[in-house]
Chains A and B, each alone.
Chain A
Amino acid sequence: MDKKKKPRLKQVKSNIVESLELPRDIMYGAVIITAMGRNQVLIENYKGIIEYTQEKIRLQTRHCQVTVQGKQLVIEYYTNEEMKITGFIQGILYDS
């Protein structure tokens, strides 16, 4: 019963979100990635840091993992909600 109910509930929720145009970041806890130029990335709604080296920062978000690749990456600051990464950014990857 439960297993059948869950996808249906999810469907209802996504229908409501779609039709009312509610913000997805609040409703789903979706990650927001704002890249400014080549040297700055602002990541909101992340859960935690999995890995951090100068070339790679791997973050856990609610639905997936986000990897920021680059050179000389520095976390300018991070709080519970957001993180600012500076350095030479080469790529942003999503892994499940």
Chain B
Amino acid sequence: MLIDKLKYLQGYVRVRLFGYAPERFLNLCSNHNILIWNLEYREEQYEFCLSVRGLRQLKPILKKTRTKLVILERTGLPFVMNRYRKRKLFFAGIILCCGLLYTMSLFVWKIEVNGNLHETDSNIIKFLEENQVYHGLLKSKINCEKIEEELRAGYGDIIWASAKLQGTMLIIDVQENLATNQQAQDSQNTDDTPSDLVSDKEAEIYSILTRQGTPLVEKGARVKPGDLLVEGKNPVLNDAGEVANYQYCVSDADILGITQYSYTDSFSLQYEYKNFSGRESKAFGIRLFQGQLRLPHISHKFTEYDTITDEYNLKLGETFYLPLQLLRETRREYKTEKRMYTKEEAKRLAKEKLDDFCKELTEKGVQIIENSVMIVTDEKNCTASGSLKVIEPIGSRKATNIINIPQEGQMEDESDGNSD
């Protein structure tokens, strides 16, 4: 196969040979290293193929063997080129196309981010854009090592990053810290400054489990926002039972409180319904770099419609993305109709919304213990109102108020070192 292609590229001819000593001619050809193939004997004449280069060397051999040669057919690229040699624009087009392809291959047309779980692709791409790495940048200007460093420096939870260029695609692989963002934040907060836990909402304490610090509330106690729950200092008593000093610490406790959420939701029974007629009109366009060119919708003119736009990236091979996108805009016509919910429908809808709200709460780690939401439907509106009683973790961190107590001398060693 490959040899056939090479022969085509070099060009070859099929010739007919006749005369005094054709066998001698064939032997001389092989002695002169002139390749002959598809040799056939027909009616006392020989037909065979040989390359253009071989044809040029034949003259002395033909003379020596007193044979004659007729060219039957010419095949190959040199002959095609010769036939179209006057079509200058055609060749200009080929050269232009090659040049364009080469120029396009100098830029990055797609950035792919892999391995990110918490950060979205678009976030990372936006971050890269801020660091002068964007679509359409010259490949030679990209410094993969610098990108890796910037990613690691810019995102705390990216512990490993790798950037590589493949074709016109910049592939960024990242590895995020396996601990969740929350844990990462927590670990960042664990500095040594002593802190208290303070109630952030009105609640009744359901349970309290203190690991560090002095608990100030008990189970069943009612707390208001701002009330101290766990204090980040432990009193140190001297022999006389007086407070001699405080040991400060970062207070740590699991505090569950019973809190109430009020829930109100009201919507009108009347609503607008999109009745799709099923008629669609399509229009196409292209996007080149930042510019967009859209063809108008010809087939139908709708007054009310939904628009769906599909974009297709053009690429050569797997990774060579061209800065050209095809757009397809589909408009689906609808007629707006005013409709009324029936009471059952309205009730179901209100219930669904409430369930969604409850689900959202449960996902936050909240346990719902009482649900007293009533759904009332009158002629015009559907209203759901009431309250939810839930058990949820409470307490937010606040720096401990450090009290200076005059030192007696011997207590210094026991203090945490923060109270000087």
Scoring B residues 30 to 56 as 1 if CB is less than 8 Å from chain A, else 0, what string do you get? 110101111111100010100000000
Question: In the complex the two chains form, is B30's CB within 8 Å of A78's CB?
Answer: yes
Question: In the complex the two chains form, is A52's CB within 8 Å of B26's CB?
Answer: yes
Complex contacts, A53 vs chain B, CB 8 Å = 41
Chain A binding surface, main DSSP class: strand
Question: In the complex the two chains form, is A79's CB within 8 Å of B23's CB?
Answer: no
The minimal Cβ–Cβ distance linking A62 to chain B, given in whole angstroms, is 15
Complex contacts, B40 vs chain A, CB 8 Å = 54, 74-75
Scoring A residues 23 to 50 as 1 if CB is less than 8 Å from chain B, else 0, what string do you get? 0000000000000000000000000111
The minimal Cβ–Cβ distance linking B8 to chain A, given in whole angstroms, is 16
Complex contacts, A52 vs chain B, CB 8 Å = 23, 26, 39, 41, 46
Question: In the complex the two chains form, is B46's CB within 8 Å of A76's CB?
Answer: no
Question: In the complex the two chains form, is A80's CB within 8 Å of B33's CB?
Answer: yes
The yes or no answer to B131 lying at the interface (CB within 8 A) is no
Task: Look across to chain A and name the residue whose beta carbon is closest to the beta carbon of B43.
Answer: A54
A79 to B36, CA, bound (A): 7
How extensive is the interface on chain B, given as a class? 10 to 19
The yes or no answer to B27 lying at the interface (CB within 8 A) is yes
Complex contacts, B33 vs chain A, CB 8 Å = 79-80
Complex contacts, A54 vs chain B, CB 8 Å = 40-42
Q: A74-B39, A78-B39 are in contact. Are A49 and B26 (CB under 8 A)?
A: yes
Question: In the complex the two chains form, is A49's CB within 8 Å of B27's CB?
Answer: yes
Complex contacts, B30 vs chain A, CB 8 Å = 48, 78-80
A37-96 residues with Cβ-Cβ distance < 8 A to B are 48-54, 73-80
Question: In the complex the two chains form, is A51's CB within 8 Å of B23's CB?
Answer: yes
Complex contacts, A51 vs chain B, CB 8 Å = 23
Contact of A49 among B23, B38, B42 (CB under 8 A): B23
Question: In the complex the two chains form, is B27's CB within 8 Å of A74's CB?
Answer: no
Complex contacts, A77 vs chain B, CB 8 Å = 35-39
Complex contacts, B42 vs chain A, CB 8 Å = 54
The minimal Cβ–Cβ distance linking B346 to chain A, given in whole angstroms, is 85
Q: A48-B30, A80-B30, A80-B31 are in contact. Are A74 and B38 (CB under 8 A)?
A: yes
Scoring B residues 186 to 206 as 1 if CB is less than 8 Å from chain A, else 0, what string do you get? 000000000000000000000
Complex contacts, A79 vs chain B, CB 8 Å = 30, 33, 35
Complex contacts, A74 vs chain B, CB 8 Å = 38-40
Contact of B23 among A50, A73, A76 (CB under 8 A): A50
Residues of chain B having any CB pair with chain A under 8 Å: 23, 26-27, 30-31, 33, 35-42, 46, 48
16 contacting pairs across A/B (C-beta < 8 A): A50-B23, A51-B23, A52-B41, A52-B46, A54-B40, A54-B41, A73-B41, A74-B38, A74-B40, A75-B36, A75-B37, A75-B48, A76-B38, A76-B39, A78-B36, A80-B33
User: When A and B form their complex, which 10 residue pairs have the shortest distance between CB atoms, in order from nearest?
Assistant: A75-B39, A77-B37, A48-B27, A54-B41, A49-B26, A80-B30, A74-B40, A53-B41, A49-B23, A52-B41
Residues of chain A having any CB pair with chain B under 8 Å: 48-54, 73-80
Q: A54-B41, A54-B42, A77-B36 known; 13 other A-B pairs, CB under 8 Å?
A: A50-B23, A52-B23, A52-B26, A52-B39, A53-B41, A75-B36, A75-B39, A76-B38, A77-B35, A78-B39, A79-B30, A79-B33, A80-B30
